Amino acid sequence: MFRINKFVFWLLLAVSLPTFAQNPQHLSLLDAITEGLENNYSILLALNNEQISSNNATRGNAGMLPAVTFNSSASGNTSSSRSRPQDGDLQPWRSATATNLNSNIALDWTVFDGFAMFANYERLIELELMGQENLRATVQQTIASIMNVYFDIVSKQQEIHAFENILRISRLRVHAANDRFNSGRVSRVDVLSAQVDFNADTASYIRQTEDLRKAKIQLNRILAREITTDFFASDSIIVDQTLSYGAIQEMALSENPNVVLSRMSINVAALTLKSIEGQQYPRIRFTSGYALAGSWTPSGQTEHNRSGTLNYGLTLSVPIFNGHNISRQITNARIEMESAEIRLEQMQKEIEAQVASAYSTYVVYRNLASFEASNLGLAAENLEISMDRYRLGAISAVELRDVQRSYISATNRLIVAQYNAKISETALKLLTGAVM
For residue 120, the cross-strand partners are none
pLDDT (0 to 100) of residue 93: 61
| 219 plus 274 within the same structural domain | no
pLDDT (0 to 100) of residue 178: 86
Averaged pLDDT of the chain: 87
Q: Is residue 317 part of a domain?
A: no
Beta-carbon count within 10 A of 380 CB:
15
| 416 plus 351 within the same structural domain | yes
CA distance 395 to 386: 8
**Considering only 2-16, 185-199, 287-301, which range has the smallest mean pLDDT?**
2-16
Pairing between β-strand 25-27 and β-strand 231-233 as defined by DSSP bridges: parallel
pLDDT (0 to 100) of residue 22: 54
Quote the domain boundaries for residue 362: 242-280+343-436
| 264 plus 229 within the same structural domain | no
Q: Tell the burial category of 31 from Cβ atoms under 10 Å away from its Cβ (0-12, 13-18, 19+).
A: middle
Q: Is residue 203 part of a domain?
A: yes
Cβ 328 vs Cβ 279: under 8 Å:
no
* Confidence band for 15, pLDDT divided at 50, 70 and 90: very low
Q: What percent of the chain has pLDDT over 70?
A: 89
CA distance 287 to 28: 64
Number of domains into which the chain is organized? 2
| 404 plus 349 within the same structural domain | yes
Nearest to 33 by CA among 152, 139, 155, 153: 139
| 164 plus 62 within the same structural domain | yes
Nearest to 298 by CA among 49, 99, 15, 40: 99
* 73-99 mean pLDDT: 70
* Confidence band for 432, pLDDT divided at 50, 70 and 90: very high
CA distance 345 to 348: 5
Cβ 133 vs Cβ 327: under 8 Å:
no
CA distance 101 to 79: 18
Q: What is the helix (H) or strand (E) element at residue 411, kind and residue range?
A: helix 397-431
| 40 plus 166 within the same structural domain | yes
* Confidence band for 10, pLDDT divided at 50, 70 and 90: very low
Q: Is residue 373 part of a domain?
A: yes
Find how far residue 190's CA is from the centre of its chain: 56
| 4 plus 137 within the same structural domain | yes
pLDDT digits (tens, 9 = 90+) for 197-252: 889 889 989 999 999 999 999 999 999 999 999 999 999 999 999 899 999 999 99
What is the sign, positive or negative, of the torsion defined by CA atoms of 349, 351, 355, 357?
positive
Cβ 266 vs Cβ 69: under 8 Å:
no
Position with higher pLDDT, 426 vs 82: 426
pLDDT (0 to 100) of residue 306: 80
Nearest to 430 by CA among 369, 343, 355: 355
Q: Is residue 285 part of a domain?
A: no
**Domain CATH number, residue 348:** 1.20.1600.10
| 224 plus 350 within the same structural domain | no
Position with higher pLDDT, 77 vs 8: 77
CA distance 63 to 277: 16
Q: Is residue 149 part of a domain?
A: yes
Q: Is residue 324 part of a domain?
A: no
The DSSP 8-state label assigned to residue 111 in this structure reads E
Per-residue pLDDT for 17 more than 50?
no
89 residue type, one letter: D
pLDDT digits (tens, 9 = 90+) for 42-61: 999 999 999 999 999 999 99
Nearest to 62 by CA among 145, 123, 131: 123
| 248 plus 232 within the same structural domain | no
Q: What percent of the chain has pLDDT over 90?
A: 62
pLDDT digits (tens, 9 = 90+) for 239-289: 999 899 999 999 999 999 999 999 999 999 999 999 999 999 999 999 999
Cβ 68 vs Cβ 107: under 8 Å:
yes
| 200 plus 349 within the same structural domain | no
Q: Is residue 316 part of a domain?
A: no
The DSSP 8-state label assigned to residue 225 in this structure reads S
| 151 plus 134 within the same structural domain | yes
**Considering only 227-231, 267-271, 305-309, 411-415, which range has the smallest mean pLDDT?**
305-309
| 120 plus 160 within the same structural domain | yes
**DSSP for 295-350?**
EE-TTSS-SEEEEEEEEEEEEEE----STTHHHHHHHHHHHHHHHHHHHHHHHHHH
